[in-house]
Amino acid sequence: MRLVFVHGRGQAKKDPDALREHWKAALVAGLGDSRLPEGLDIRFPFYGKLLQDHVDRSLSGAQAVARGAAGTEQDALAGEMLLEIAERAGVTNDDIAKELDDRAVARGPENWPWVRAAARAVGKRLPWLASGVLEAFVRDVHTYLSVRVVAEEVNERVRRELDGGSAVVVSHSLGSIVAYQVLHELGRRVEVPLFVTVGSPLGIPVVKSYLEGKPSKPPNVRRWVNGSDERDPVALYARLDRDSFAAGIDNFADIHNPRDDAHGITGYLSDEVIAAEVLDAVERG
């Protein structure tokens, strides 16, 4: 049995082997007295640097932000994603306006001064999303979704570790979008007794607009478990169900991550419910 971890964005400067061990350690911490099976084949397809290289080469949206100018239609869609996250974080239009020098700036996702002000307002409410982290998250997710060559290359890294046989898949943040796309592409070429998504942005309307076809449970997935901390604004829709995404997903929306990082993978994997689900799946095969 393979256990495949699919990471999120912002990992470019990290060592993939160290990341793999970090994920494993967090999972083991959630197991308490239980242990992962000896010899478990753990895969960690690493696409962090690949994604960052593409982002660095295609900075048109980021340059539009830096200029404070209105961007392209694609930039407006990225702005829509950021504003949706800001709303989930409890940021109001008044909060955004307070971050603007020019109060006459038009509201809306196509107006980057407004969007950047929203990001600053989120950073004040959630310090762990300050200093451009939220904008970087939206930029990276949007690059993966909107630039076909990026999606193809990232997906191939994950596809190589998943294709054929049986695998339990655990994914975080942007990685949940990547894993979802790859599982649909592979179809019956891989059997997945358990697909875990944590801190997933799959329910965000702009994200769903980029997915091919109607959102659905991949046909090769026997069971899909989604975990979220309701304080995590990246998991904009804490529950992935028939209203926000698709039927047939088991949700655990009561995870309590560390206060200073409601989106972090450590808290999600060390949750005893998530860890027990993974252990049961790899033992049953």
The least confident of 10-19, 92-101, 109-118, 122-131 is 122-131
Q: What is the pLDDT of residues 194-208, one digit of tens each?
A: 999 999 999 999 999
At residue 71, does pLDDT exceed 60?
no
pLDDT band with cut points at 50, 70 and 90 for residue 73 = low
Region 41-52: mean pLDDT is 97
Residue ranges of domains in the chain: 2-48+147-284, 59-145
Give the chain's mean pLDDT: 90
At residue 191, does pLDDT exceed 70?
yes
Q: Which residue has the higher pLDDT, 64 or 131?
A: 131
pLDDT of residue 72: 59
At residue 63, does pLDDT exceed 70?
no
Alpha-carbon gap, residue 240 to 189, rounded angstroms = 25
The least confident of 39-53, 54-68, 108-122 is 54-68
Counted residue by residue, the chain has a size of: 285
Q: Which residue has the higher pLDDT, 285 or 144?
A: 144
Half-sphere exposure of 153 (CA within 13 A, CB side): 15
205: left (phi over 0), alpha (psi -120 to 50) or beta: alpha
β-bridge mates for residue 229, sequence order? 254
At residue 68, does pLDDT exceed 80?
no
The answer to whether 192 and 168 are in contact (CB under 8 A) is: yes
Alpha-carbon gap, residue 204 to 209, rounded angstroms = 9
pLDDT of residue 245: 97
Percent of the chain topping pLDDT 90? 71
CA-based diameter of the chain, in Å?
63
Residue 261 in tokens? 């990082």
Q: The domain at 2-48+147-284 falls in which architecture?
A: 3-Layer(aba) Sandwich (3.40)
pLDDT of residue 103: 67
Region 54-83: mean pLDDT is 65
Q: What is the pLDDT of residues 146-181, one digit of tens each?
A: 899 999 999 999 999 999 899 999 999 999 999 999
Q: How many angstroms from the chain centroid is the CA of residue 148?
A: 18
Region 43-67: mean pLDDT is 76
Predicted TM-score (pTM) above 0.85: yes
Residue 19 in tokens? 């990341």
Q: What is the pLDDT of residues 228-284, one digit of tens each?
A: 999 998 998 999 999 999 999 999 999 999 988 899 999 999 999 999 999 999 999
pLDDT band with cut points at 50, 70 and 90 for residue 59 = low
Angle in degrees, CA 103, 77, 86, rounded to 5: 55
Alpha-carbon gap, residue 33 to 56, rounded angstroms = 44
Alpha-carbon gap, residue 242 to 223, rounded angstroms = 15
